[in-house]
Amino acid sequence: MRWAPAVPDQISAAPDRSTLRLALVVGGLVLAVLLGFGLGRLNADGAATTGSPSLAAEHTDPPGIGPHNHGTATGADQGAATEPGGLAVSSAGFTLAPLATEFVANHPGQLRFQVRDVQRRPVTRFAVVHDKPMHLIVVRRDLSGYQHLHPTMAADGTWSVPLTLAEPGVWRAYADFTVVADNGAQTAVTLGTDLVAPGGYQPRSLPGPATSTTVDGFTVGYQGTPQAGATVPLTFRVDGVGGAAPLERYLGAYGHLVALREGDLGYLHVHPEPELVDGQVKFWLTTPGPGRYRLYLDFQVGAAVHTAEFTLTVP
C-alpha cells in the first residue's frame, strides 16, 4: 500500500463571518469615540464663545417694529410671552452672580456682579441694545424706589454701578442684557436677584389705578386697555406748561417702559415705535396674565430724564 503524503489544511484568504463581525464592531466603537470627542470639542468651543473678552456690536432686532418686549420668558420680542422675566437668578444657561447683596439704607454703595455661563465662567460679550450693553432696574418689593441704571463692565466681566437703596427692605435687581456668541447668535435674557437693606421695613400701599399722573411739572397720560395674553397698543402723551413737551431721544428712543407685576415682581421691558405717533410715544404691551402692574415710563426733556409711574389693573 502506498501512503499518500499528508496535505495541510488550506487557509482561506477571506476572513470568516465571525471575524468580520468582530472587526466591524471594533471599528464602530472606535468611530463613535472619535466622533464623540469631536462633538465634545465643538460643544466646548461653543460654550466658550460667551467668554470672549469684549463687548459685541449692536443688537440685530429692530426696536419698535411691532410688539417689542424684553424680559419675557418666551417670545420676548414677538409679544407672545407666557411669563414675564426676572423671576429667576438663572435662565437660558446664564446666572446672575452678585458679589454682595447687603446695603446700608440711604447710604451710597456699589453693586458689583457677573453674568456667568453654564461652566461658571464670566460672560464678557454683550450686544449694545438701546445704546447700552446692560440695563439694570432696581425697585423695592413694594414697587417703590424705581431706578434705571447702566453699569460698566471691567475686563474680567465684573459689572459695577453706584447704588443707593433709599429705605430699608428687600429690593429686586433686574439685569436686562443680550449675550452674543462668537458665531453671532444673540440670546436676550433678564435675570433677577434680591438685595437687602436691613432695618425697619414700612411697605407702601400701591397707588390706585390711574391713566394720568404728574411728575417734575409734566402731566403724563396714556390711552389703551391692556388685556391678559393680548398685545395692546399704549400711547403716552407728555405735556408741559405750554402744551406738548418737546421729547428728546433717550437711549435711542423717545421713551422706555418697564412693567412689574405685583406679587412675584415679574418683569417686562417694552420698547416703543421708533418715531412719535401724533406727538405721542407708542408702545405695544403684552401682559402675561391678570393682576396689578406698576408702569414706569422714562422720558427725556431738556437733557433731563424723568420717570412717570402708573398703576394698572388687568382683569
Q: The domain that contains 193 carries what CATH number? A: 2.60.40.1930
Query: Is residue 18 in some structural domain?
Result: no
Number of domains in the chain: 2
Task: Say yes or no: 193 and 92 in one domain.
Answer: yes
Task: Say yes or no: 235 and 169 in one domain.
Answer: no
Measure the CA–CA gap between 44 and 38, rounded to whole angstroms: 10
How sure is the predictor about 83, in pLDDT bands with cuts at 50, 70 and 90?
A: confident
Quote the pLDDT of residue 30.
Answer: 42
Quote the pLDDT of residue 16.
Answer: 52
Range of the domain at 89: 69-197
Task: Say yes or no: 125 and 189 in one domain.
Answer: yes
Q: Which residues 6+ apart lie within 8 Å of 75 measured at CB?
A: 81, 82
- The alpha-helical segments, DSSP class H, found in the chain are 17-48
The three cell numbers of residue 170 are: 428687600
The three cell numbers of residue 284 are: 405695544
Query: Is residue 2 in some structural domain?
Result: no
Answer with the residue of higher pLDDT: 119 or 30.
119
Quote the pLDDT of residue 314.
Answer: 96
Measure the CA–CA gap between 93 and 99, rounded to whole angstroms: 19
Mean pLDDT value of segment 186-209: 96
Mean pLDDT value of segment 247-266: 97
Helix/strand number for the chain, H first, E second: 1, 19
Answer with the residue of higher pLDDT: 221 or 56.
221
Across 22-31, 204-213, 275-284, 298-307, least confident range: 22-31
Q: Which residues 6+ apart lie within 8 Å of 279 measured at CB?
A: 237, 244
Mean pLDDT value of segment 26-33: 43
pLDDT averaged over the chain? 83
Mean pLDDT value of segment 5-20: 43
Query: Is residue 59 in some structural domain?
Result: no
Query: Is residue 26 in some structural domain?
Result: no
Q: Which residues 6+ apart lie within 8 Å of 50 measured at CB?
A: 94, 117, 121, 123, 124, 125, 179, 181
Angstrom distances, CA of residue 192 to CA of 91, 142, 172: 10, 16, 7
Task: Say yes or no: 172 and 291 in one domain.
Answer: no
Read off the pLDDT of residues 61-78 as tens digits, 9 standing for 90 and up: 433 333 345 554 433 333
- The sheet with strand 169-180 has its strands ordered as 147-149, 134-140, 169-180, 186-197
Residue 151 phi, psi (nearest 5): -65, 165
Query: Is residue 99 in some structural domain?
Result: yes
Query: Is residue 100 in some structural domain?
Result: yes
How sure is the predictor about 190, in pLDDT bands with cuts at 50, 70 and 90?
A: very high
Quote the pLDDT of residue 50.
Answer: 38
How sure is the predictor about 48, in pLDDT bands with cuts at 50, 70 and 90?
A: very low
Measure the CA–CA gap between 82 and 149, rounded to whole angstroms: 27
- Largest distance between two CA atoms of the chain: 137
Task: Say yes or no: 83 and 176 in one domain.
Answer: yes
Task: Say yes or no: 275 and 231 in one domain.
Answer: yes
Task: Say yes or no: 154 and 239 in one domain.
Answer: no
Quote the pLDDT of residue 264.
Answer: 96
Task: Say yes or no: 74 and 188 in one domain.
Answer: yes
Task: Say yes or no: 193 and 217 in one domain.
Answer: no
Read off the pLDDT of residues 213-238 as tens digits, 9 standing for 90 and up: 999 999 999 999 999 999 999 999 99
Looking at the chain, the whole-number percentage of residues with pLDDT higher than 90 is 72
Predicted confidence (pLDDT) at residue 152 exceeds the cutoff of 80:
yes
Measure the CA–CA gap between 21 and 32, rounded to whole angstroms: 17
DSSP summary character for residue 186: E
Buried residues in 129-154 as b, exposed as e (16+ CB within 10 A): bbebbbbbbbbbbbbbbbbbeebebe
Predicted confidence (pLDDT) at residue 57 exceeds the cutoff of 60:
no
Measure the CA–CA gap between 34 and 32, rounded to whole angstroms: 5
Query: Is residue 207 in some structural domain?
Result: no
First to last CA, the chain: 114
Query: Is residue 240 in some structural domain?
Result: yes
Read off the pLDDT of residues 92-139 as tens digits, 9 standing for 90 and up: 999 999 999 999 999 999 999 999 999 999 999 999 999 999 999 999
Q: Around Cβ 62, how many Cβ atoms within 10 Å?
A: 11
- Strands (E) in the chain, as ranges, are 69-70, 90-91, 94-98, 109-116, 134-140, 147-149, 152-153, 158-163, 169-180, 186-197, 212-215, 218-223, 231-240, 243-244, 256-261, 267-270, 281-286, 291-301, 304-314
